[in-house]
Structure 1
């Protein structure tokens, strides 16, 4: 059975929606997803980079992220035909471990928690495929990298791209 490793943030969990919402509330701005086209928020507001990072060191930040549309149904379907692993780069924010683990258990109870990998560099993951929004992780991965569209990676062209979970389903199951 082939293995698929799936990133959590911005692939399974809507990281950017919460990030923008917190920022807009705290700084009385109206940043939109369109404003982030090809950029990260810290690139738009470099003077607030440390404050933005502080959102992510909050142990609860990752606990209540929204699930990406169709992720649950498609991942459940994939898990019937592939070995599915969740590979989340948690080393930058070690305080996120518990929140991420609890989030995965709540929203993806059908996955084996022995297949949750909390790591930094995903090149250590031995899988046939990696679905990730981070080009850095795909560059180092030895299997086939699949880029999940996020605002910051829209200009990247060197990987197979999926824009949503229905496209993931089509790629792997059609």
Structure 2
């Protein structure tokens, strides 16, 4: 029986950081980089407070997010040896449900709809491994964790860190025969 992995969408499969930066420049005419966001919370990422939530609540935000570099190829490789579940705490932004489902169909058509979980609280997830960028999901997870680097988690080191999908594959190879 294959081990199972829960993979987060936003910040792991979907490059929301780049998208926030693009939308900020588009709407406010000011260019920020990922370095400018480093170590900040989502609430304080931009000069205007709450902008991340505002963008995430806007129609077409999730449908136009770029795919994280290397994600598609890595998930295809991982899927050969693991049972993959895509898990997203999508209930905070209910308009995102249809957009996220459509985005997954477009970019990850090889993931069956029965393997997609949209929830409000990831503490219900019971896979062997979780790959996520948020401590609120990883800290309470009972299995092995891989923290995907994001601007808001750079100051933490209580989970195995992966800076990109290549590093995720390396971590999984080192854990067991991949």
- For normalisation by structure 1, the TM-score amounts to 0.93
Query: For residue 26 of structure 1, what is the aligned residue in structure 2?
Result: 27
CA distance in 2, matches of 1:114, 1:25: 36
Query: For residue 6 of structure 1, what is the aligned residue in structure 2?
Result: 7
Query: For residue 94 of structure 1, what is the aligned residue in structure 2?
Result: 94
Query: For residue 162 of structure 2, what is the aligned residue in structure 1?
Result: 162
Once structures 1 and 2 are overlaid, which stretch shifts more, 36-45 or 82-91? 36-45
How many aligned positions are there?
Answer: 173
Distance apart, 1:52 and its partner CA = 4.1
CA distance in 1, matches of 2:25, 2:48: 15
CA RMSD across the alignment: 1.5
More helix by share: 1
Once structures 1 and 2 are overlaid, which stretch shifts more, 34-43 or 9-18? 34-43
CA distance in 1, matches of 2:164, 2:134: 15
Residue 4 of structure 1 aligns to a residue whose secondary structure is: strand
Query: For residue 142 of structure 2, what is the aligned residue in structure 1?
Result: 142
Query: For residue 37 of structure 1, what is the aligned residue in structure 2?
Result: 38
The answer to whether the 8 A contact 2:37-2:46 is kept is no
Residue 91 of structure 2 aligns to a residue whose secondary structure is: coil
Q: Which stretches in structure 1 are left out of the alignment for 5+ residues?
A: none
Distance apart, 1:117 and its partner CA = 0.3
The answer to whether the 8 A contact 2:3-2:83 is kept is yes
The answer to whether the 8 A contact 2:45-2:52 is kept is no
Query: For residue 64 of structure 1, what is the aligned residue in structure 2?
Result: 64
Distance apart, 1:47 and its partner CA = 4.3
